[in-house]
A = this chain, B = another copy of it.
Amino acid sequence: MHRVKVRVVEDALDANNTIARANREDFERAGVTVVNLMSAPGSGKTSLLEAVLGPGLGDLRVGVLEGDVQGSLDADRLADLHVDVTQINTDDGFGGECHLDANMVRSALPTVGLEDLDLLVVENVGNLVCPAEFRIGEDARIMVASVAEGDDKPLKYPLMFRTCELVILNKIDLLPHVDFDVDRFLYHLDAVHPGVAHLQTSARTGEGVEAVRAWLAALPSRRALA
C-alpha cells in the first residue's frame, strides 16, 4: 500500500518535471526570466510585490502569475498598481491544490503572453511544504519568511529553505514586538542552506525593498551570463 502510494507520487513528480522542462524551453525561447515566489500564508508576499513592482522595475516588462486556492484578492491588489496579472485558482476538482505545479503554470501561459514580458513573477499558494517539491520551469526561487512566524522555521520546513536562491525575511518592523532572534534564524538558515543569499525587508515601512528591486532587476542579466 505504502509502496503504491510512493510510486503514484513519484510518477506525479516525474510528469511535473517533464512539463517544467517544456515551460523552461518556452521561457528561454521568449527570453523571459521566471521567479517562483513562495512562503507560508500571510508572510506578506503580495504586499512585498506591491512595494517592489509598484514603481516599475526600470526598463523591464514585468508580469505576475497569481496562484490561490480561491478568489483573486491578491491579483486585484496588484492590478490596481497597473501590474500585468494573471490569476490561477487551484480549487478545481476537489478541495483545492496546496501548490502550483508545472501544468497549472503551463495552462496559464497563453493568457500571460510571454512575448510581452522580460520578467514573470509567479506568486505560489501560501504553503511551506509542497510548493518546494514542484518545479515550474523557473530560473530562481525566492522564499519569504515573516518574523511573526518564528525563528525556527528553516529547521521545521527545510526543503523549502534549501531549494531557493534568495531568502527574504519580511515584516522586520515587527521585530521589537515578537520573540524572534534574527541571528538564530540566520544560524538555522545556514544549517539547512549554507551560503544562500538573504535580505531583510518591511513591505510596510519600505525598508530593504530597494535591495529586492536590485536583486530582481539584475536577474535577467545574471541569467544571460549563465
Contacts and interface: CB of A to CB of B under 8 A. Distances in A.
A68 interface: yes
Number of copies: 2
B42 A95 contact: no
Chain A: interface size category: 35 or more
Interface in A129-157: 129-130, 132-133, 146, 148-150, 152-153, 155-157
Given A148-B148, A148-B174, A171-B148, A96 B129 contact: yes
A109 interface: no
Contacts of A9: 93-94
A18 interface: no
A177 interface: yes
A173 interface: yes
Given A94-B6, A129-B98, A73 B152 contact: yes
A132 B42 contact: no
A167 to B, nearest CB: 15
A8 interface: yes
Interface of A: 2, 5-6, 8-10, 12-13, 40-42, 68-71, 73, 93-98, 125-130, 132-133, 146, 148-150, 152-153, 155-159, 171, 173-174, 177-179, 204
Contact of A159 (B12, B96, B148, B153): B96
B94 A13 contact: yes
Nearest to A177: B177
Contacts of A159: 69, 95-96
A158 B42 contact: no
A106 to B, nearest CB: 13
